[in-house]
Amino acid sequence: MKLSTELTHREHGRTLLFLLCFFLLSKYHLSIGFALKPYMIFLCVFLLFHLSAFSFQKMYAFELVLLCFYAFYGFTGAFSLYPLASLRLMLGIILLVGCYLIVKFILSTCSIQAIQAAIARAGLLFNAVSLLLYIVGLKSVGFHGEEMAASYGVLLDRGYPRLIGLLEDPNLYVFYNTLFFAYFLTHMKSWSHKAGFALCLLTTILTFSRGGILAMLLMILLYMAISHSVKSWRLLLAMGVTLSVISYLAAAAMKIPIGKLLESRMEDFSSDGGSGRFELWGRAWEYFLDHPVMGIGADNFIEYNTAYYGKSLYTHNTLLQILSESGFLGFSLYAAFLLLVFKQLLSRSLAKKHLYLLLTFMAFLLQMLSLSLIINELFLLYLAIVSVILQKEKTSRLSDKEKLASHPLVTKGVPAQ
């Protein structure tokens, strides 16, 4: 029986690892009217083989409020100038919510230890393969490729060789890497986790993403402030020095002036308006002022920007996009959802045992200020992990209470009568 149970745990762990890896391969999708991504195919196949065992998992308040937001967000499209754009988005939301329910079921079959082990393994694979692709891409194009040209794992953007790895955008790379970064940061007891953290740090720097680097830096500072551990400070300092030496040697070998590129990238912030984001944010605010209650309609910002300015661009700010497209009502629902998630993450069962989830959420919020992430599969995967770990911790506490209640009370060594 014990051997059978161990095999089952291993099978669930492998299933979860495959799932996480497929989520990280979203770039390699099929266009069939919508993006059919690897994890969607995996989830469909999994459901076919486990349909009889499938069950809906408990929904927490933050999940229900998020569903209410999505419903209202889609409803705003009925009054928009471009309802087809809203309809496409709503179909995408329905698809992702369906995937979310299956992901929660898969996670529920795994222990917390198995979930965390899968996060660590997927993080190592994601960063190692991405770094390898970056090196191959640099060897292929160097610094002389066409502007905004991507090769393997590198994107040439205004003279910067930016790491994209297995994804299509360097800023999104940092967002996808946030969960792994936070996990390795708070679990640096083994050499594999230390190597994982070093890889996360290096790949983040090589994205030359100003918002991403700032988010990871603040995550480290927040962790140091919360942990109050001198050992953690020394370990981070030692790893920082080691990584700096490795980066210098690698830069010298490949002739990449990382320090100068980072300095130049930060200086560009004052002249490029955050890569044009400030102008887009101003337009989003104007659209909100014109339609303050229900906004201009779900996914209509791109259509408005194309019609009036000739460019199909996102808002590059999740909160401003929600405000402009769904008005004050939609923004209030989304703000309530974020506050409920934050409240759960501060609970004793998560804040102490699973600090990486809180750090990930804080970094996500900061990156949302420069990215459009109203529907994002990685963010939904993170929410599923939070929900399932909450439920498992609650079940564990109830089980401990039942065990205590079932034993006779003992006071000062004298059995209770």
Secondary structure of 7-33 in the HEC alphabet? Answer: HHHHHHHHHHHHHHHHHCCCCCCEECC
Range 5-13 average pLDDT: 59
Please state whether 364 falls in left (phi above 0), alpha (psi between -120 and 50) or beta. Answer: alpha
Give the amino acid at 32: I
pLDDT of residue 29: 84
Residue 85: closest CA among 317, 337, 307: 307
pLDDT of residue 108: 92
pLDDT of residue 217: 87
Q: pLDDT, tens digit, for every residue of 315-330?
A: 989 999 999 999 999 9
Residue 213: closest CA among 160, 254, 153: 160
User: What does DSSP assign to residue 58?
Assistant: P
Q: pLDDT, tens digit, for every residue of 86-112?
A: 999 999 999 999 999 999 999 999 999
Residue 174 has pLDDT above 90, yes or no: yes
Residue 255: closest CA among 152, 163, 143, 146: 143
Q: pLDDT, tens digit, for every residue of 39-80?
A: 999 999 999 998 999 999 989 999 999 999 999 999 999 889
- How far, in Å, are 76, 344, 355 from residue 63 at the CA level? 20, 11, 20
For 297-351, strand residue ranges (E) read: none
Identify whether the C-beta of residue 363 lies closer than 8 Å to the C-beta of residue 371. Answer: no
Cα(37)–Cα(29) distance, integer angstroms = 4
Phi and psi of 30, rounded to 5°?
Answer: -105, 135
Per DSSP, the residues of 344-389 read HHTSHHHHTT-HHHHHHHHHHHHHHTTS--SS-HHHHHHHHHHHHH
pLDDT of residue 277: 84
Residue 1 has pLDDT above 60, yes or no: no
Mean pLDDT computed over every residue of the chain: 84
Residue 256 has pLDDT above 90, yes or no: no
